[in-house]
Structure 1
Amino acid sequence: MSNTAVLYTDHGFGSPYAMSAYVALAEKGVDVELIKVDLDHGAQHRPDYLGLSMTGKVPTLVHDGFALSESSAIAEYIDDTFQGTALYPKDRLQRARARQVQAWLRTDLGAIREERSSGNLFAKSAHALPALSAPARQAADKLIAAAEQLLPAGSVNLFEHWSIADLDLSLMLNRMVAVGDPIPARLVEYVRHQWSRPSVQRWVALDRTPATAAA
């Protein structure tokens, strides 16, 4: 079995889902080749890409000829396939909770994603963002309440050890922390701790300089 993989990601490395897959690979020590998909110009709809992803989304992982899309499925595949840091808790109930957190973050809280782009995490805006709208504030309150319930007192991880659900939860919270929205101090500490992880910083450090157009 090869310890190398190809990860198709958005061309600006701003996708939170591609980030989650990349961090999962980094935690396992997998050598990864990144291939950018120009979503702005519809490259995700080209037949060759659809032949890999089926869903026309990023990320898509290719390993030993097997192609897989959807970031939570990719994380489970990586955890099942490679040695290294466990991405999910060993305990059956905690593992189920981690998957619940991942599924919830991917299917809810759309108002936060709309008003607090993940792009703000990697490229600071020159202009202050407006306050969250009422629907986004409601979603933020829901997220904060859930995070405070999930995170044990005095802990910087959801479970006994780090899991990929910590990356996903901290990423959603950081959409607000990064732009100065009011967040409880212990959740800010949680976010900063999670983002100091070497695998996360490897993604943050990727070169996001736009390619120069050909003359």
Structure 2
Amino acid sequence: MLVRMMSVAGYRWYPECTVKEQYWDFNQSKYMCTLRVFPDYPGAEEPIHWSYGLGVTVDMAVQDVVYSMLTIMRARHALLQNLEFCYVPASQPGEEGYISGVYFDSAMEDPLLQSTAEMLENRDKDARALRMELYATRARLWTALTQLAPVVQTGYGNMEMLNPVRTHLPAHVDWPAIGGVTPLRGPLLPPIRGPRPHSYPYGSQGPQARVFPDPQVELPGHGGNLYELFYADA
């Protein structure tokens, strides 16, 4: 959907996503995703739009950041108001790029569609509230497990208590797979463009793992092929 929206709005390059893991003990890690949209001319190094997303999995973080960019572009481009994207909620980048909801008044819509627009706005607000509750609950759980760890490690409990397994969702409600390229884990990398070195603390890898490129890929209508590239760096 984001690709379709960008093509209609006249962008040239596919957006670029970088996913980084914020490691926490006890299986409480979370992932932070940065999405960058670059100007039309080749070789541009500074993005003109960016957004951030969070998730407890890589897929969830990428879906969150893409949705964030959808809402930002919906607010930036008036022409989208009269196209298929008219009911995508609009927002502005908030603190450090995270979205802050700014919605169009559903009362201004066609009377037959007012309830649809209002429902979408309310579902969007619900989803954001549930995400905040999820991250706050995980932070409290991490604190509780940190305090419990010394007791369990002395033998007064099962070690499995310290590593709760994430809930596996049914296939029909799970996050869609994002595909793309996932390098082996290594240190956090700066958001630079072009071939970048990639060293690892977990043993030696072959030379093919040392450097990987950051190609700019054109959107449909500019002669490019459909391609999405995501990096997951821990």
TM-score when normalising by structure 1: 0.29
TM-score when normalising by structure 2: 0.28
More helix by share: 1
Higher-Rg member (1/2): 2
More strand by share: 2
